[in-house]
Amino acid sequence: MKTLVSTNEFLSEDVKLEKKLMKRESPDEYPSLLKWKIQMLYFDGAAWVQICRMDNYLHDGSVGSHVHTYGNDQVKWLEVSFQEAYDLVFAVGSRILREKFRR
């Protein structure tokens, strides 16, 4: 896989968004041409905690975009692009930070 984008965007001293976009170099590497993740993390004073993550990584053997949220073991499958995922992660992550962490 060739990394096209890899960034850490700090929204505050204790909240950041990580973005990663990779392109496969051969069809054997990954089922989709692009592999990506966008996640919001919160530093709780000891460690970075995943608040919301969207990716199209394999999940339980299935391919497709899905969202992981804080405190939920289940994922929600949503068909979104890398660009659309940024807005969704920001909105969902911000809501979770307000409701669960009073941020």
53 within 8 A of 89, measured Cβ to Cβ: yes
What is the domain extent for residue 75?
Answer: 2-96
- Tell me, what amino acid is at 30? Y
Q: Return the closest-CA partner of residue 24 out of 6, 7, 4.
A: 4
How many structural domains is the chain composed of?
A: 1
Q: What does the pLDDT read at residue 80?
A: 92
Q: Which two tokens stand for residue 100?
A: 């669960």
Is 101 within the bounds of a domain? Answer: no
Q: What does the pLDDT read at residue 70?
A: 95
pLDDT tens-place string over residues 49-98: 999 999 998 888 888 899 999 988 889 999 999 999 999 999 999 999 99
Is 103 within the bounds of a domain? Answer: no
Instruction: Specify burial of residue 16 (Cβ count, 10 A radius: 0-12, 13-18, 19+).
Output: middle
Is 67 within the bounds of a domain? Answer: yes
